[in-house]
């Protein structure tokens, strides 16, 4: 005769097996979740002086709109997280990380990319200075560095304060350390920083030495 203890063990095992079978079976009326349809919106931008009209998924970053939709691949994707500056472009005169900004936020904005700064035959003075001073090695960060450098000198001209020099009216010529601080969002894995600083100093009308390096 089966003892009470054995019976209850069998009962527990049978109960567990039934519960496991139930858990493994899909719920009778479970439906696969449908992904929501992407929201598409029209957006018009002026890119390097030309109006461009696009219909974009609202989640498209400005960087992807430039690279994937307009084939302006001069702007680079490094980290895609706002940490390297490779994607820097100039929007309405201010430099921004285009990977951190949605294209639809820029309705009507003026965007300047590296392709709009100069041409191989007629380089922008900052591009020419980068070439003269070897301001790059692999070149991946270079479009972002050049866009940032152009915007930095413009910020200094407009008297936009930095962390290092709060009052530019006291000393209109920036120091080397100030330029480096303003450029600190642009990372160069090849370490061309000194050459970049020299190129910027030349365009600013000085040498790094005169700037108090
Ligand atoms: S790709 Fe935008 S900051 Fe790195
Ligand atoms: S030149 Fe190679 S990362 Fe800057």
Q: Render 8-67 in DSSP notation, one character per residue.
A: HHHHHHHHHHHHHHHHHSPPTT--PPPPPPPPEEEEEEEETTEEEEEEEETT-BHHHIII
Q: How sure is the predictor about 5, in pLDDT bands with cuts at 50, 70 and 90? A: very low
Of the ligands numbered here, which is closest to the C-alpha atom of 81?
A: 1
The reported pLDDT for the residue numbered 1 is 45
DSSP 8-class letter at 90: E
Is the C-beta atom of 130 inside 6 A of ligand 2?
A: no
Percent of the chain having pLDDT more than 90? 66
Please name every residue paired with 53 in a beta bridge, in sequence order, or none if there are none. Answer: 44
- Look at residue 181 and tell me whether its pLDDT is greater than 70: yes
Q: How sure is the predictor about 157, in pLDDT bands with cuts at 50, 70 and 90? A: confident
Any residues with CB less than 8 A from the CB of 100 and at least 6 apart, and which?
61, 81, 82
Give the chain's domain count: 2
Across the range 44-49, mean pLDDT stands at 98
Say how far apart CA 131 and CA 212 lie, in whole Å.
Answer: 23
Q: Whose CA is nearest to atom 3 of ligand 1?
A: 82
Report the nearest atom of ligand 2 relative to the CA of 138. Answer: 2
Of the ligands numbered here, which is closest to the C-alpha atom of 189?
A: 2
15 domain residue, yes or no: no
- Look at residue 25 and tell me whether its pLDDT is greater than 60: no
Residue 69 structural domain: 40-116
129 domain residue, yes or no: yes
Mark whether 131 and 179 lie in a shared domain.
Answer: yes
Mark whether 102 and 137 lie in a shared domain.
Answer: no
Across the range 121-138, mean pLDDT stands at 97
156 domain residue, yes or no: yes
Which residues line the pocket of ligand 1, CB cutoff 6 A? 77-80, 82-87, 97, 99
- What is the Å distance from ligand 2's center to 173 Cα? 27
Say how far apart CA 168 and CA 173 lie, in whole Å.
Answer: 8
Domain end marker among 116, 134, 156: 116
Query: Ligand 1 pocket: which of 74, 75, 81, 89 to mutate (most atoms <8 Å of CB)?
Result: 81
Cβ neighbours of 72 (radius 10 Å): 20
Query: Ligand 1 pocket: which of 79, 113, 188 to mutate (most atoms <8 Å of CB)?
Result: 79
Mark whether 110 and 148 lie in a shared domain.
Answer: no
More confident residue, 162 or 56: 56
Report the nearest atom of ligand 1 relative to the CA of 185. Answer: 3
């Amino acid at each position: 005769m089966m003892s009470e203890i054995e019976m209850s063990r069998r009962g527990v095992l049978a109960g567990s097996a039934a519960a496991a079978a139930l858990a493994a079976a899909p719920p009778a009326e479970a439906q696969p979740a449908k992904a929501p349809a992407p929201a598409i919106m029209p957006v018009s931008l002026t890119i390097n002086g030309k109006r461009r009209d696009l219909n974009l998924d609202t989640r498209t970053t400005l960087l992807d709109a430039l690279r994937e939709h307009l084939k302006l691949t001069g702007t680079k994707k490094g980290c895609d997280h706002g940490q390297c500056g490779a994607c820097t472009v100039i929007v309405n005169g201010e430099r921004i990380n285009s990977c951190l900004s949605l294209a639809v936020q820029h309705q009507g904005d003026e965007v300047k990319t590296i392709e709009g700064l100069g041409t191989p035959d007629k380089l922008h003075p900052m591009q020419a200075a980068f070439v003269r001073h070897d301001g790059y090695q692999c070149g991946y960060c270079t479009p972002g560095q050049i866009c940032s450098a152009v915007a930095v000198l413009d910020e200094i001209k407009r008297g936009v304060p930095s962390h290092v020099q709060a009052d530019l009216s006291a000393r209109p010529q920036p120091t080397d350390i100030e330029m480096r601080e303003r450029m600190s969002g642009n990372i160069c894995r090849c370490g061309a920083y000194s050459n970049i600083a020299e190129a910027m100093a030349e365009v600013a009308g000085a040498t790094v030495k005169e700037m108090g390096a």
